């Protein structure tokens, strides 16, 4: 399960922090710009425009011969590439471990990082796929929207579970 593997990588590689001193008046990136970058080449206008807005160089990790992850920790963003095309983009909420800055751009579907699982399901409906286990916090997939919502807790029944990060993927064909 590809989404499960991404979740494991993202959670293993990341903890987050709030944004002390980050310019609150910085340009807000619309969620549609993130969606538009999915499937595009690293040197495409969509991807290069995003990278320019983040203004810092990413830390790059090689996952395999054809896959890499580019992290902008100061922006709360992680982009995974496969064969030089964007496969998934993760945006992160703040949490108590203080390693990443919370993403300050627009969130999809009117979501807020303060939303609980109950709030998300009220806005997006019941997920088409969901999971989690003793090692992986609960996640919910909305393939028709191209979204994966990853939560903080491993409790599969916790409706008060807060968003940890959001993944943008290619929407499924209807």
Instruction: Give how far Cα 51 sits from Cα of 9, 57, 106, 129, 164, Å.
Output: 21, 8, 16, 31, 22
Q: Contact, 38 vs 170, CB < 8 A?
A: yes
**DSSP β-ladder status, 129-131 and 77-82:** unpaired
Whole-angstrom Cα distance, residue 91 to residue 15? 12
pLDDT in tens, 107-119: 999 999 999 999 9
The pLDDT assigned to 11 comes to 39
120 is written with which tokens? Answer: 């998300």
The pLDDT assigned to 98 comes to 62
Whole-angstrom Cα distance, residue 81 to residue 68? 5
Strand partners, 147: 142, 168
Instruction: Give how far Cα 19 sits from Cα of 78, 102, 103, 114, 136, Å.
Output: 16, 6, 9, 15, 26
By C-alpha distance, which of 129, 128, 135, 127 is closest to 153? 135
61 is written with which tokens? Answer: 């990790």
Low-confidence stretches of the chain (pLDDT < 70) are 1-27, 96-98, 174
The pLDDT assigned to 174 comes to 65
Q: Contact, 52 vs 95, CB < 8 A?
A: no
Domain positions in the chain: 2-168
């Amino acid at each position: 399960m590809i989404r499960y593997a991404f979740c494991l990588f993202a959670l293993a590689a990341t903890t987050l922090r709030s944004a002390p001193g980050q310019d609150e008046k910085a340009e807000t990136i619309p969620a549609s710009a993130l969606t538009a970058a999915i499937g595009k080449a690293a040197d495409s206008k969509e991807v290069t425009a995003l990278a320019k807005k983040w203004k810092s160089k990413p830390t790059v990790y090689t996952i395999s011969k054809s896959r890499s992850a580019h992290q902008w920790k100061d922006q709360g963003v992680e982009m995974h590439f496969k064969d030089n095309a964007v496969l998934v983009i993760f945006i992160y909420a703040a949490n108590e471990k203080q390693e990443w800055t919370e993403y300050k751009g627009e969130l999809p579907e009117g979501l807020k990082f303060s939303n609980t699982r109950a709030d998300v399901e009220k806005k997006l409906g019941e997920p088409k796929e969901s999971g989690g286990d003793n090692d992986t916090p609960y996640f919910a997939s909305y393939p028709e929207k191209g979204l994966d919502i990853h939560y903080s807790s491993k409790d599969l029944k916790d409706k008060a579970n807060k968003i940890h990060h959001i993944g943008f993927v290619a929407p499924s064909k209807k």
